[in-house]
Chain A
């Protein structure tokens, strides 16, 4: 079962990569919001490729999670430790890719998400040194664009290659992945872009950040948020050496608490 999910996950990654390669041609970081709107409403097939990129990436994240959950449900994790670490790392990079992708849509919620990320980095000891890696004071979305379009795809490709040893496309799984993505994009809509001049009472970041956002609103410190974010990754790493009930319960507790804060 885990193998089949892995094949679909790889296919989803390739669909996301290829659709991203198409939308990048109409994206201008210096005029980000307008270029996204142009892509969605003027460029022929622009919305189709934007939806394909968005939904394949979302399903990619879900399939990584399912893939990891299947491995955890087994009595012992059968892959080697390095391969396990690379899969956890790939999940982390995939989430950062999703976050940078969310920011690149450049609407009000994207802008707010970027500002919150800057503040989190700025107020975290040691990580504050890395702020210039993402914040560009001249073209706001420029560094997000470079990370999302170049460095992060290279890093995740490296992690996936180290995890599976060979990145290959099985045409059957590719067809399944493409079919599922198209089906989902038929029934679901992209989250609405909030215009830069719109007066809104509340803006939200990407769905996997809602829990952290609500914890921030409840008054949790930046250090606390960092612990909340890093904890599941540490638990997943720890599960390789001792796939004990205690760690599984802790992870489940984390999921329940985070889900509670997310809604």
Chain B
């Protein structure tokens, strides 16, 4: 009786091991929660013009009346845009799309304007996400 139970257990063991080892592999490849962009930036720390936040891949555009936040990825194929201070335009180094400082598309192959990111201003602090 004990032998039978032991055999049954031993028969199940390889499946358990395979299942156990495959769990982290499957989890690693198939599930990947996207971390939300969450940031707090005191308004006084923001300079006028464009500020690039490398960690979150966003551009913050501040002028005397307004603040806008753009996703720094090109809307064509997702390359990170460069901001040209002289022309005040965003340039895509991959396929040469161009966007104005307010995120408007100026030249393709991108077909739409830059994606804007929602934010709030509370207690003189910019809250992203």
Residues of A within 8 A of B (CB): 108, 111-112, 115-116, 118-120, 132-133, 135-138, 143, 146, 199-203, 213, 216-219
Contact = CB atoms under 8 A, between A and B. Distances in A.
A116 B78 contact: yes
Nearest to A134: B29
A116 B29 contact: no
Contacts of B94: 112, 115-116, 202-203, 213, 217
B109 interface: yes
Interface of B: 28-35, 73, 76-80, 82, 91, 93-96, 108-109
Q: Which residue among B30, B31, B33, B78 has the maximum number of chain A CB atoms within 10 Å of its CB?
A: B78
Contacts of B93: 108, 112, 200-203
Contacts of B30: 132-133
Given A119-B78, A219-B109, A137 B32 contact: yes
Q: Which residue among B76, B82, B95 has the maximum number of chain A CB atoms within 10 Å of its CB?
A: B95
Contact of A120 (B32, B77, B91, B95): B77
Nearest to A203: B93
B95 A135 contact: no
Contacts of B80: 111-112, 115
Contacts of B29: 132-133, 143
12 contacts: A111-B80, A112-B93, A115-B73, A115-B77, A116-B78, A132-B31, A133-B30, A137-B33, A213-B95, A216-B95, A218-B109, A219-B109
B76 to A, nearest CB: 8
A108 B54 CA distance: 13
A120 B78 CA distance: 10
B32 A132 contact: yes
The 5 tightest CB contacts between A and B, nearest first, are A115-B78, A217-B95, A119-B77, A119-B78, A203-B93
B109 A138 contact: no
Contact of B109 (A115, A203, A216): A216
Contact of A116 (B32, B79, B82): B79
B34 A137 contact: yes
A245 to B, nearest CB: 36
Contacts of A119: 76-78
Given A132-B30, A137-B35, A201 B91 contact: yes
Nearest to A214: B95
Nearest to B96: A217
A32 to B, nearest CB: 14
Contacts of A200: 82, 93
Nearest to A205: B94
Contact of B79 (A115, A135, A136, A137): A115
Given A119-B77, A203-B79, 17 more contacts: A112-B80, A112-B94, A115-B73, A115-B79, A119-B76, A119-B78, A120-B77, A133-B30, A138-B32, A146-B28, A200-B93, A201-B91, A203-B93, A216-B76, A216-B109, A217-B95, A217-B96
Nearest to A194: B93
A216 B76 CA distance: 9
Given A112-B94, A213-B95, A138 B78 contact: no
A116 B95 CA distance: 10
